[in-house]
A and B are shown apart, each in its own frame.
Chain A
Amino acid sequence: MAVNLKQLTQHEELLTGGHRACAGCTGSNILRQIMLTAGQNTVVGGATGCMEVVTTIFPYTAWRTSFIHSAFENCAATVSGAETAYRALKKRGDLPREETGRKNFIAFGGDGGTYDIGLQSLSGAMERGHNMVYVCYDNEAYMNTGIQRSSATPLGAFTSTAPAGKVKQGKEQNRKDLTKIMVAHNIPYVAQTTPFHWKDLATKVEKALAVDGPAFLNILMPCPVGWHFDTAIGMQLAKEAVESNFWPLFEVENGVYKINQKPKERSPMENWMKQQGRFKHLFRPGNEAILENIQTYVDEQWEKLLKLEEMTAK
């Protein structure tokens, strides 16, 4: 499944320009890259959230494939319904058009719609084994409603519902590890990636679509509005999230972990965090312990990941 940039660029763009994403948004880039790999014969479902809102303001749509939005917490269930309908119609020869080739079903949601309110629906759909790919674009807070904390928000980050003030220093909990929760569903394919790593992303999308059964992709999505950074550096932050081991590139194929990129020398979290306004308050005197906790947590998680890779190696 070698992915070739030249080939990819020749594919039709299925998410058109002119949508309403913010300047510097890396989310639309994620969707474009996914759709370049998935192709026209794809049904897309979107949970309520940034990417749904910016791509489908009536009477416009940025989607050149079929797209459905129903609500915030039910994207996985909705797409599981469409996927089941496809199998049922195909079995009886009732499809609207005779088809050759693979039909893709992709559900996407932000971290709010996936880690939090949509977790039950996602878990159910994955357990039932639908032939669909669920993509979480994880920008680590409820950006669409105004940057409220989610269970994907990292420790110490400033959000509008867990702000930094005189006695509180942003979010007080570590982020939930949703990728591993999805691994625990024992589905054929689970992976993490970022939009900067285009080749890694395209390969993972292709693998996820190719498996017989459900697959889950967790894609880090730097958000200039919620993370407070210069609109030019979103991709750079995606790259550095991997170099700091904050967001490792890895995949789990039939239970076997593989880390796709191992930094020779991991860069300190501080370097990554300093470029984002959401962590600014942590660099004030008195917050050294929080910074240390953040670094320790990332290092511990990385060590665990290395062990999982070792343990599951065949």
Chain B
Amino acid sequence: MEQKLVALSGNEAVAYAFKQARPHVASAFPITPQTEMMHKFAEFVANGETETEMILVESEHSAMSAAVGSAAAGARTFTATSSAGFALMWEIVYVAASLRLPICMALVNRALSGNINIHCDHSDSMGGRDAGWIHLFSENAQESYDNAVMAWRIGEHMDVRLPVMVNYDGFIISHTADALHMLPDDAAYDFIGKYKHAYTLLDPENPVTVGPLDLTDYYFEHKASQLATYERVPGIVQSVSEEFGALTGRTYQFCEEYAMDDAELVIVVLGSSAGTCKDVIDEYREKGVKVGLLKIRMFRPFPVQMIAEKLAGRKAVAVLDRSASFGGQGGPVFMETRSAMYGQQVPVNNYIYGLGGRDFDLHQVEEVIDDLQKVAAGEELQLINLLGIRS
């Protein structure tokens, strides 16, 4: 498929992807750095480029609530937020997944308060990691766009019916112009397909009761049925990715492997920082250091098997977390990764970095690789480390 090469910010790229899905309804409330995405989408609506009805609500809680009402009515629906906005939605984020509504959401990652900070980290997304959504992470504008196209197919698949969150790093991706290939509108829509509902409030001949009181006698079975769904998700993500790959030439896995074939040392990371790591890995490779990168693209459901397989037999692993778990044993990516590797004799250390948008620079990656080399040589280092803080 011939695709246009364009220069867009991440926010613009995602707005295009959402437009190409021809959604019926979008609910929106402004929060930095997500704002520009909805500005762009509102322009599309104002220019008649999409027939989407926008609900310009008075809070993110209502943005997610209106999205739930819309999706339950049988409409293709999306919203977008960041940070505190996602935190305010939190209660209804669970409802959306539990009611099995395939809402798409752009989560433009930003640090949670307090103190208030508008820059990137992953604490917003990680706060909702158990809510039942599919979490896709993006390295750059291209991946943000591609995830935002594939998200509809994944969430709306009749064996999935779950909401999908497309994560991309605030400012670093959202506000940076980047070159990317975009599908023509019709080709993207053909790939995504016409929306089909699993149930609707709008058929008076077939009334449904949605969200009833569910007590000790049924709630657990409903949760068991929901839990079983996440087992099916990876296979469907895989097949959607393959189809997308055949169309665009860009095929994605749950994790991207970079210089992994013979890697003895591995960095595990999410999001835009993968690009920085790749650069430094190239330098070390030239020096003969066998270091590689495992970039997790799908954090939920967590690709346990793939991660366990890809990290097995390595000499040392460093997991980078752009969020902290206060009082927990390291960051969330670390905890999940180490748990996936249970039983393996591979040492795994954790590096918390970039909180509140602290720049993640080449030196920090060098520090991590230097540590990996020490660990591989048998040195025991601190389990949980902070990168790039002033001493």
Assess whether B58 is in contact with A85, with CB atoms less than 8 Å apart: no
B313 CB → nearest A CB, Å: 48
Q: How large is the interface on B (under 10, 10 to 19, 20 to 34, 35 or more residues)?
A: 35 or more
Cβ of A88 under 8 Å from chain B: yes
B218 contacts across to A, CB distance below 8 A: 58-59
A95 contacts across to B, CB distance below 8 A: 202
Assess whether A78 is in contact with B24, with CB atoms less than 8 Å apart: no
Assess whether B51 is in contact with A91, with CB atoms less than 8 Å apart: yes
B220 CB → nearest A CB, Å: 12
Assess whether A86 is in contact with B65, with CB atoms less than 8 Å apart: no
The CA of A70 and the CA of B67, in the complex, are separated in Å by 11
Contact with B along A234-274 (1 / 0, CB 8 A): 00000000000000000000000000000000000000000
Which of B173-181, B208-216, B372-380 contacts its partner?
A: B208-216
Cβ of B289 under 8 Å from chain A: no
Assess whether A53 is in contact with B213, with CB atoms less than 8 Å apart: yes
Cβ of A94 under 8 Å from chain B: yes
Assess whether B55 is in contact with A80, with CB atoms less than 8 Å apart: yes
Identity of the chain A residue whose Cβ is nearest the Cβ of B73 in the assembled complex: A85
Interface size on A, residues (CB 8 A): 51
The CA of A66 and the CA of B201, in the complex, are separated in Å by 5
A99 contacts across to B, CB distance below 8 A: 204
Assess whether B59 is in contact with A81, with CB atoms less than 8 Å apart: no
Cβ of B314 under 8 Å from chain A: no
Identity of the chain A residue whose Cβ is nearest the Cβ of B27 in the assembled complex: A81
Assess whether B66 is in contact with A81, with CB atoms less than 8 Å apart: yes
Contact with A along B64-92 (1 / 0, CB 8 A): 01111111111101000000000000011
B68 contacts across to A, CB distance below 8 A: 70, 78, 81
B58 CB → nearest A CB, Å: 3
Which of A21-29, A116-124, A197-205, A281-289 contacts its partner?
A: A116-124
Cβ of B53 under 8 Å from chain A: yes
The CA of A127 and the CA of B213, in the complex, are separated in Å by 30
A65 CB → nearest B CB, Å: 5
The CA of A73 and the CA of B197, in the complex, are separated in Å by 26
Residues 206-234 of B at the A interface (beta carbon under 8 Å): 206-215, 218
Cβ of A151 under 8 Å from chain B: no
Cβ of A63 under 8 Å from chain B: yes
Residues 41-62 of B at the A interface (beta carbon under 8 Å): 51-53, 55-59, 61-62
A307 CB → nearest B CB, Å: 32
Q: Which of B25, B59, B201, B214 contacts A84 (CB 8 A)?
A: B25
Residues 80-106 of A at the B interface (beta carbon under 8 Å): 80-89, 91-92, 94-97, 99, 103
B203 contacts across to A, CB distance below 8 A: 66, 96-97
A243 CB → nearest B CB, Å: 36
Assess whether A81 is in contact with B67, with CB atoms less than 8 Å apart: yes
Which of A39-47, A184-192, A212-220 contacts its partner?
A: A39-47
Q: Which of A69, A88, A123 contacts B211 (CB 8 A)?
A: A69
B55 contacts across to A, CB distance below 8 A: 80-81, 84, 128
The CA of A231 and the CA of B206, in the complex, are separated in Å by 36
B22 CB → nearest A CB, Å: 9
The CA of A80 and the CA of B61, in the complex, are separated in Å by 13
Cβ of B260 under 8 Å from chain A: no
Identity of the chain A residue whose Cβ is nearest the Cβ of B56 in the assembled complex: A128
Instruction: Known A40-B204, A67-B207, A69-B212; judge A88-B65 contact (CB<8 A).
Output: no
B99 contacts across to A, CB distance below 8 A: 70
Cβ of B187 under 8 Å from chain A: no
Instruction: Known A88-B24, A88-B51; judge A82-B205 contact (CB<8 A).
Output: no
Cβ of B364 under 8 Å from chain A: no
Cβ of B253 under 8 Å from chain A: no
Assess whether A121 is in contact with B207, with CB atoms less than 8 Å apart: no
The CA of A174 and the CA of B88, in the complex, are separated in Å by 31
CB pairs A–B below 8 angstroms (10 shown): A43-B201, A45-B69, A57-B215, A58-B212, A61-B212, A66-B207, A83-B69, A84-B53, A84-B70, A86-B73
Kindly list 18 other residue pairs between chains A and B, CB separation below 8 angstroms, not including A53-B213, A57-B213, A124-B59: A43-B73, A56-B211, A58-B214, A66-B204, A67-B207, A68-B201, A70-B99, A70-B211, A77-B62, A78-B66, A78-B68, A80-B69, A81-B55, A85-B75, A86-B202, A88-B75, A124-B58, A128-B57
